[in-house]
Amino acid sequence: MLKINNLHVYYGGIHALKGVSVSVNPGEIVTIIGSNGAGKSTLLNTISGFIKPKEGEIIYKGEKLIQNPYRVVKKGICQVPEGRLVFVNLTVRDNLMLGAYLRKDKKGILEDLEKVYSIFPRLKEREKQIGGTLSGGEQQMLAMGRGLMSNPEIILLDEPSLGLAPMIVQRIFDIILDIKEMGKTILLVEQNAYKALSIADRAYVLEQGKIVLQGEAKEIASNSKIQEAYLGKKSI
């Protein structure tokens, strides 16, 4: 469904991504794990069209993806950014409706709004509340709901658990599985490697701009080097 081939990305003189290749199949949760500065968010921002690669290509459903954020969303790819980035002066409902700004199907938009409220009942309760007054966990739910309102086929999730309490983190990961059950495909960037690997089908390990390991998520999680580096377990 999504294939990234030999991607090279630079920030000025910094070589941020060095020949990265990743594939995502329909209905999968694929996670990218790695430390801060490994290039995880850069990869998602490049797919979304915010960053232009120097080399490589991104293929979506057999066609080369044009690196333009507007066109990327219109094709069915949406990104839920790191740090939530909700519209702090708008209500919860207005934030959600902005997620559907490219859509013309009014009936479908209202149906999806109800679906979002069914997944995130807290948002329904706070429908008229200003986005900036929500808790961190509620803002993360709002950002994810806003992404779903674009009716995407693939959702790019960038650090959804960042800065959240453990109880809320568990809820967010349960919701990611609920979104998968809706038939959505998910590319997940997450620093909480343990939680990401526990729900993912496949995983890639990104270090200093390079993919150093890939495979089934369970296999990656049982790798002694990965356990020591990312899961807080010492290899024997």
Query: Residue 85 pLDDT more than 50?
Result: yes
- Residue 28 vs residues 152, 192, 211: alpha-carbon distances, Å: 14, 19, 19
Which tokens is 185 given? 């495909």
- Between CA 20 and CA 53 the distance in angstroms is 11
Predicted confidence (pLDDT) per residue in 111-169, tens digit: 999 999 999 999 999 999 999 999 988 998 999 999 999 999 999 999 988 888 888 88
Architecture of domain 26-48+67-206+217-230: 3-Layer(aba) Sandwich (3.40)
Residue type, 154: I
Query: Residue 109 pLDDT more than 90?
Result: yes
Radius of gyration over every alpha carbon of the chain, rounded to an integer in angstroms: 17
- Residue 41 vs residues 143, 160, 178, 195: alpha-carbon distances, Å: 16, 12, 23, 18
Query: Residue 236 pLDDT more than 50?
Result: no
The pTM (predicted TM-score) of the whole model is: 0.90
Instruction: Give the pLDDT of residue 42.
Output: 93
Q: Estimate to the nearest angstrom the gap between the alpha carbon of 170 and the chain centroid.
A: 16
Instruction: Give the pLDDT of residue 210.
Output: 94
Query: CB-side exposure of 10: number of CA atoms within 13 Å?
Result: 5
DSSP result, 105-143:
-HHHHHHHHHHHHHH-HHHHHTTTSBGGGS-HHHHHHHH
- Between CA 20 and CA 69 the distance in angstroms is 20
Which tokens is 48 given? 């979304």
- Between CA 40 and CA 218 the distance in angstroms is 20
The domain limits of the chain are 26-48+67-206+217-230
Share of the chain above pLDDT 90, in %: 67
